[in-house]
Structure 1
Amino acid sequence: MPESIFAAACSRIGQTVLHIDRNDYYSGDWSSFSLKGIQNWVEQQKRSCDDDLKYSQTDEASILKEGEYLLKMPLKAKNFKDIEMKFHIDENKEKAPTEQESYVQEKVHLSVTDGKGNPEAESGRKDEVNKKQIENNGVDPLPVDTNINYNASQSSSETQLQDFAKDENQSQSFTDQALSGDKEAENQTEVPLDLVSIDDSEKRTMEGNVTSGSEAQLEVENKGYMSSTNEAEKKCKDWSPSEIQKEWRRFSLDLSPKVLYCAGHMVELLIASDIAKYCEFKTVTRVLTLLSGKLERVPCSRADVFSSKLVSMLEKRMLMKFLTFCMDYEKQPEEYQEYLGKPFSEFLASKRLSENIKHFVQHSISMTTDKDSTDEGLRKTKKFLQSLGRYGNTAFLWSLYGSGELPQSFCRMCAVFGGVYCLNFTASQIILNKEGRCQGIITTAGQRIDCKWLVMESSYSPEEFISPTYPRSISRAILLTDKPLLPTDTQELSMLCLPCIDDPYRPVHVLELPPGSMAAPQGIYVFHLTRLAGDHVSVNDDLSFAVKTLFQEADDDDKPKVLWSMYFRQNNTSQIERSASVPENVFLMPGPGPEIDADTPVHLAKDLFQKLYPGEEFLPKAPNPEDIIYIDNAEASTSGANQSDFKEQSGDTDKTQNLDASKLQSSEVVYAEPSSNDQSAESSDQSGIVVDS
């Protein structure tokens, strides 16, 4: 991600940018995949680099100049290992119909005509129509001659479908784009005859794609069915592996999931640069905690605190007083001065807070451990409180379709301003001169490309450039379940910081994504588990406490049931150490770390940009298309004039901008900045970002 942000900033000020990627997808270690995509990714991780990209046969004499030499770069990243992926459910041979399916079968009557126009017996339609019968009767796979018997009026059933659509839209955050994409995918899928009548049409309706009566060829005769769907939806569906695989397009699974602080640096950059228009967000609606062995919702805002039944009135005043202090703690250094450098937990104890309040502040608001210092805890608490309330009653945002959308949005901005992107294509060798400065690269196609600066993620770096010491790796798990942690009437996007009994200094961060986050189809919830890895322990054992505590171990358990899981270990490259042999014009960017938010990449990209281009504005807002003036050669080469003048009216004042025609080339873009009173110039506030609460 930091490379994408830096590339967009360079392209925005007119620099020539070539962004190459060894993968056939964007975002690298920050990427998001569909279910089939992540299965293919696992297979790629198991293959050797010889199966993908290869080193080119380079004729050094024809490519290199005097005094230059080559240094090999790795062609494949080795940031992931110990990957285990499997289903935890069996394929049901004869699955009993659910309550809503049984209801539909009782209330919906279908009669199918054969190829000669004779109606099939209604009792015979209840049995599955096999392929042999279809061929003999000449019935199309998609039944155009299906006649439906109704006992209810057309207008009544249309009203029911509209009411059902309203209920679905209130509980889901499906965008028009997503709906249109789903419809296109469905139109491309050939549906068998026996599924169109009840199963598939009903399934599509229940899962959010509400179709009209003519599209589904299905009408319901009783209004009672519509009122019973909400109760039926609350009951967990009995999923099978094949059914989950059929919904592979609806999944969006992150390798490195990150939330955004509502007032964090990433959100501010997205607004200031207008890159927010490429993304959509959903609020993290609740923060959970494990209190006395039970999951509880943490009161964060003033309204939550005073409406919570978890804390007494005395504790409510105590919590509000402490949070008010944290908002301006810098102005009261005498309150915490003696605890600087000491654990934050000691400072909380000095404030005589109750055990519940200390638990909420440490594990859910600041998300710190007993090792974190007081100044770190106060800083994180203030950051949380500053973000609270900007986009509703929450401190965090989640990018719809996954965190992988964020680096892609910066890549798009880079491409808009002339950046070139090449996937499945990378550098195989670095060209160095006798002074040790980078002159360029040799690609896997054997092509030489010269460059002024070379910026790369650490997995592209030769071993000589990185110190051999690495920080602790990261234990990760992605789980698909049949229900949320704490079921409610609405879909909740939840966060949880879970201290573990084996090592409380390494908590497990849990992120719960409902179907409304565009991470999974209806009826399935995605859970991301992240923890700093322990020494000499497997990923499964490292996360076992969280899995056993939060998820179902027996069939009679009320906890969410794990349907599918993927465990893996990820190298923590967030704190790399450059060796002394790194050329002065080569810069290594860290990868994702165990932190929960996406602010670190912004700092890294901005620091590097200001180092290489001091005085330049970092990712200014892109001009409005109406403010762009295109000048071609014919306009620039006006005979008898070396300059082209034009005037722009701004209120009562004339502004004259002089353009040097000799410096203009074909298709060059000149930006006429909007004036201060131009209504098209938007201010950088929360209106610049689309949030679906």
Structure 2
Amino acid sequence: MESLAGTSWDVVIEGTGLQQSLLALALSRSDKKVLHVDGNNYYGGSEAAFSLQEAEAWAVSLAATPVAPFSKVSLRKAETSTSSAKKLSPSRAYTLTLSPQIIYARSKLVSQLVSSQVYRQLEFQAVGNWWLYENTSGVFPAAHEAGTLKRMPNGREDIFSDRSIDVRAKRGLMKFIKFVVDFENQTGVWETHADTPFVEFLSSQFQLPPSMQTYLVALTLSLEPPGVTSVRYALPRIARHLTSIGVFGPGFGAVVPKWGGGAEIAQVGCRAGAVGGAVYVLGTGVSDADTGSTAVSLKLTNDEAVQSEYYISSQDKAIKEINSDTPTVSKLVAIVSSDLSSLFVSTVEGAPIAAVAVVAFPADAVVVDGQSSTHPIFIMVHSSDSGECPQGQYVLYASTTNIRNPKGRLEAALSKLLKSADAPRADAEGSEQDAVLFEMYYEQSRSSTSNLASSTSCALPSSSLDLSFDDSILDDVEDAWRRIMGSPETESPYMVFETREQLDDDDDNGMDGL
């Protein structure tokens, strides 16, 4: 490849996260000369996905030297077992993602993947059953004590057939569902309550009991306490959940990309960008940027100097110090050998077998050292159908925020889940802790710096910490594209492409290392 400095670049993009990858694709198809660099030796940035060996290397590196947006990284592997079911398979049998976000069918991302033809290179798997963890004994149960996993109703048919919901609660729940799917046209019902706690709104307006309030709050995937989650926040999320069910098939409303979540979308976007003429270089970042009024002079970490009309970076670079005011989510990734197949049993005729199940632990459900948590915990359970682990094993992604001893609470929630879902096997073959083959903990932060764009540069926001894909980040990508194109109205519509022939496997068209 010729020297990067010998080319006149329209745009230099730093980082190969999902946002940057989609922007590079859009610009390359708009006839812009794009140089796309990443200081990492892998694609995906904060959405990256790793083999087992790569995950270990990543964890060891960041444990020694934290790099924003990640901190407090630690790793634990189980002792080697003689049982094939209780030992790790070769490294490449796993794909552990840093972004296990679910994507709703009613999502702008799905629409853009379709209009850009990127979806043709992706394989999606269903997100199926949703479960709510309930303690079965005492106000302060033991940290590893088994409770009950209650399947959350996933629509009107589920509600009618659920005998644990009394008639009065069903009536209120059906009234709420009828309202929420059309909430945008019923502002008179909720607008004056927009900033009040959602649970209070459910109680006062729909007379729903606490058990139903807990269920509906869980559907929002909010990591905040129930008393903090507002009506304004909750209504669009529940509406999206309910209206997405059945769009792609019966029994489910959300999907995940097979083989690595957001990383798979980012990498496919990079491949499509290369087809459009973008040039990709891994292991090379930007060490210095001089943004003038008409052009940008960039010094790369490989000591080359390049000129560009526009420079795109990430607000992650603005994270110099992580403190109590920095939005942060605590995450635990675990590979387990427990039999969790019961979480994936479908009750809807014609529904596909899901690859992902969602388990919600309400606030106060997990007690550690005699103290309950004020924040909920969510665990996304990925089966081998996700392409992320061998058959007979599962990858669990646990998340929470703003709690004391987050690692201990996530581990306690994991233990409770394994005991609840796999009690017979755990009793017969040993404790549930023996089933945890691999565990990686880390905390991920998000820059709260505002996006100050200039005539020659801008920084895309940090990756969302949400458990479902946040469509609002796509608005920032489109805004950057329009800034660079120079006009809000262009001849070519944004992210709408005709199908192109894909590259041969041996022709990387500048895809260095992909």
- Please list, as runs of the form range in 1=range in 2, the aligned pairs for 1:58-97 lying within 5 A after superposition: 77-92=67-82
> How many positions carry a matched residue from both structures?
444
Residue 467 to residue 449, structure 1, CA distance change in 2 (3 Å)? farther
Report the equivalent of 1:415: 274
| CA–CA separation in structure 1 for the residues paired with 2:419 and 2:211 | 27
Q: By how many angstroms is 1:588 displaced?
A: 1.4
Tell me the amino acid that sits aligned with residue 309 of structure 2: K
- Please list, as runs of the form range in 1=range in 2, the aligned pairs for 1:253-264 lying within 5 A after superposition: 253-264=96-107
Question: 1:644-667: CA deviations, max 9, x gaps?
Answer: xxxxxxxxxxxxxxxxxxxxxxxx
Question: 1:152-202: CA deviations, max 9, x gaps?
Answer: xxxxxxxxxxxxxxxxxxxxxxxxxxxxxxxxxxxxxxxxxxxxxxxxxxx
Report the equivalent of 1:540: 407
Match of 2:235 among 378, 399, 407: 378
Question: 1:368-411: CA deviations, max 9, x gaps?
Answer: 73212212211111111221111221121011012110111221
Q: TM-score, normalised on structure 2?
A: 0.78
- Please list, as runs of the form range in 1=range in 2, the aligned pairs for 1:554-569 lying within 5 A after superposition: 556=427, 562-569=435-442
Structure with greater contact order relative to length (CA < 8 Å, sep ≥ 6): 2
Tell me the amino acid that sits aligned with residue 31 of structure 1: A
Match of 1:570 among 437, 443, 455: 443
Unaligned regions of 5+ residues in structure 1, if any?
A: 49-75, 96-236, 627-693
Which SS does the other structure have where 1:594 is aligned?
A: coil
Equivalent residues of 1:485, 1:559 under 8 A apart: no
Equivalent residues of 1:20, 1:421 under 8 A apart: yes
Which SS does the other structure have where 1:336 is aligned?
A: helix
Q: By how many angstroms is 1:353 displaced?
A: 1.4
Residue 498 to residue 574, structure 1, CA distance change in 2 (3 Å)? farther
| CA–CA separation in structure 1 for the residues paired with 2:383 and 2:495 | 35
Q: By how many angstroms is 1:15 displaced?
A: 1.1
Equivalent residues of 2:112, 2:496 under 8 A apart: no
- Please list, as runs of the form range in 1=range in 2, the aligned pairs for 1:163-202 lying within 5 A after superposition: none
Residue 459 to residue 315, structure 1, CA distance change in 2 (3 Å)? closer
- Aligned identity (percent) is 21
Tell me the amino acid that sits aligned with residue 397 of structure 1: V
Structure showing greater Rg: 1
Report the equivalent of 1:290: 133
Match of 2:375 among 499, 506, 512: 506
| CA–CA separation in structure 2 for the residues paired with 1:482 and 1:590 | 37
Residue 625 to residue 429, structure 1, CA distance change in 2 (3 Å)? closer
Q: TM-score, normalised on structure 1?
A: 0.59
Which SS does the other structure have where 1:418 is aligned?
A: coil
| CA–CA separation in structure 2 for the residues paired with 1:342 and 1:461 | 33
Tell me the amino acid that sits aligned with residue 382 of structure 2: L
Q: By how many angstroms is 1:446 displaced?
A: 2.1
Report the equivalent of 1:71: none
Q: By how many angstroms is 1:569 displaced?
A: 2.9
Q: Indicate yes or no: 2:296 matched with 1:453.
A: no
| CA–CA separation in structure 1 for the residues paired with 2:467 and 2:27 | 27
Tell me the amino acid that sits aligned with residue 79 of structure 1: P
- Please list, as runs of the form range in 1=range in 2, the aligned pairs for 1:549-628 lying within 5 A after superposition: 549-552=416-419, 556=427, 562-573=435-446, 575-577=448-450, 584-598=455-469, 599-613=471-485, 614-616=488-490, 617=492, 619-625=494-500
Q: Indicate yes or no: 2:299 matched with 1:442.
A: yes
Q: By how many angstroms is 1:515 displaced?
A: 0.8
Q: What RMSD over aligned residues (CA atoms) do the two structures have, in Å?
A: 3.0
| CA–CA separation in structure 2 for the residues paired with 1:360 and 1:396 | 18
Report the equivalent of 2:92: 249
Q: By how many angstroms is 1:326 displaced?
A: 0.6
Tell me the amino acid that sits aligned with residue 286 of structure 2: A
Report the equivalent of 1:301: 155
Question: 1:241-287: CA deviations, max 9, x gaps?
Answer: xxx1x432121101122110111111111111111011110111111
| CA–CA separation in structure 1 for the residues paired with 2:221 and 2:479 | 26
| CA–CA separation in structure 1 for the residues paired with 2:433 and 2:151 | 17
Q: Indicate yes or no: 2:284 matched with 1:425.
A: yes
Report the equivalent of 2:505: none
Q: By how many angstroms is 1:559 displaced?
A: 5.7
Q: Indicate yes or no: 2:86 matched with 1:239.
A: yes
Unaligned regions of 5+ residues in structure 2, if any?
A: 1-17, 137-147, 346-352, 365-370, 502-514
Match of 2:57 among 40, 47, 53: 40
Match of 2:124 among 264, 274, 281: 281
